[in-house]
Amino acid sequence: MKEARHHMAAVDDVIQRALAAPYTMGVPRLPSSGVTIVTCMDTRMDVRRIFNLGDGEVHVIRNAGGYATPDVLRSLTISQRKIGTREILVCHHTDCGMSGHNDAEFRSMVAAETGELPPWDVEGYADEHDAVANSVALIRACVYIPFRDHVRGVLYDVKTGQLDVVC
Ligand SMILES: [Zn+2]
């Protein structure tokens, strides 16, 4: 029996919604386009709508900023070697929470508060275009990823919906 609660946590509500209406997409595991999109976790980065995609067309890897962190490179390696994708699109966006992020400052703030220095670091960028180009460069240089001929980078404007093709 469930414990009685005065206020259901939002996360519990999310679970309840899935329990109430089970859903499966019914597509193969391999994305039909062979493309993996690396993007930000931002609520506005709904890549299906932004790129006008249907069910099962792409892999999507998301994190804070959409940066090519070691874990993104790991996931891209899995996406290509184990699932079979072949091309990569990095999509960052305007008004990102990571914009102007100062990694050293952020890490020392967390360390001061918790007594532990986080093992990960996430470099911030003053320029949004540089951030896209840098992530694309990191992916293109990652030898573990077998297919790197088609790696592109774009910047999405959350206000206008326009894409700026960076590289
Ligand atoms: Zn963002």
Ligand 1 is an ion; its neighbours by CB within 5 Å are 40, 42, 96
Q: CA 80 to CA 101: how far, in whole Å? A: 30
Nearest in space to 89 (alpha carbons), one of 9, 3, 8, 167: 167
Ligand 1 centre and the CA of 135: distance in Å? 14
Ligand 1 centre and the CA of 86: distance in Å? 25
Ligand 1 centre and the CA of 93: distance in Å? 6
Query: Does 66 fall in a domain?
Result: yes
**Using one digit for the tens of pLDDT, what is the confidence trace for 22-60?**
999 999 999 999 999 999 999 999 999 999 999 999 999
Indicate which CATH number applies to the domain containing 53.
3.40.1050.10
Residue 85 in this model has a pLDDT that exceeds 90: yes
Query: Does 5 fall in a domain?
Result: no
Ligand 1 centre and the CA of 2: distance in Å? 37
Alpha helices in 10-127 (DSSP H): 10-20, 47-50, 70-78, 103-114
**Tokens 């019914």, residue?**
26
Domain total for the chain? 1
Query: Does 3 fall in a domain?
Result: no
Q: What is the pTM of this model?
A: 0.92
